Structure 1
Amino acid sequence: MGQSKLLASIVVGATVGAALSMFDRTTREKTIATTKKMKEAISFYASNREELQVLVEEKVLATKVLCESVTENVNTIVEKVDEFKELPSTIEGMINDTKSAFSLPNKE
């Protein structure tokens, strides 16, 4: 019973908020322009389904390329982090080698 009141309240609140926002002239004009553009796009793609299919395929391909690029970047970052993890032991070895080189007794 509580869910139905919540959903109804959300719908009423959204409707009242949208109605109040239409009092602003700029918002009203922008909403009308956006609605006209959407109507034109829907009409165009309804009569040109091939164009819609091409558009969707292009977007899917672009998304696939982006995902591959992100994956490559993440792999590169992981490799660099691994290199940085090894860096302290490398530096420690160099320091120990330097210490031993300078601390060897001189036999003359």
Structure 2
Amino acid sequence: MGKSKIGKFIFFGALLGATVSMFDRSTREQVAEKSKSVVTGISFYSKNPGLVKRKVQEKGEKIQAIYVQVSENISYIKEQIEELKTLTPQVKELVVNTKDAFVESKDDYKSIMNEAPVPEGPNSEK
């Protein structure tokens, strides 16, 4: 068996597509403008390598600051989660105690209502 030729055909297809797209005038103009701006940028930065170094350092510092901020936020969230884990049993116990108190009060109110005599109105018979 021979080697697969798919890579070669993909490359030639892309090359053919690029060539055909250059028949369009606006595409040619856009490619020329973009090429000129790239060449201008390369020549500017090749004459000013210190500027490239400074920009790279600034980006690095920004990325580092973002990393520190994200790390602090993650630590804060972890602390809050741990606090919530410790509070959850206490809150659960509070809810259960409150429910029990209401159930007991309900039973007390029922017994009070059953013991209390019904007041007689003016039209009631004796």
User: Residues 25-55 of structure 1, C-alpha deviation per residue, up to 9 Å, x if partnerless?
Assistant: 4433332222111111100111111111111
Q: Provide the aligned length of Structure 1 versus Structure 2.
A: 104
**Which range is displaced more, 35-44 or 17-26?**
17-26
What residue number does 1:66 align with?
66
Q: Higher relative CO (CA 8 A, sep ≥ 6), structure 1 or 2?
A: 1
1:32-43 equivalences under 5 Å are 32-43=32-43
Q: TM-score, normalised by structure 1?
A: 0.68
What residue number does 1:17 align with?
17
CA drift at 1:96: 0.4
Structure 2 unaligned runs (5+)? 109-126
- Inter-CA distance 75–22: structure 2 relative to 1 (3 Å threshold): farther
CA distance, structure 1, for counterparts of residue 98 and residue 72 of structure 2 = 38
1:1-108 equivalences under 5 Å are 1-2=3-4, 5-79=5-79, 89-102=89-102, 103=104
CA distance, structure 2, for counterparts of residue 19 and residue 84 of structure 1 = 64
Q: Which amino acid letter does the alignment assign opposite residue 39 of structure 2? A: K
Structure number, greater radius of gyration: 2
Identity %: 34
CA drift at 1:21: 3.0
Bigger helix fraction:
1
- Inter-CA distance 36–73: structure 2 relative to 1 (3 Å threshold): farther
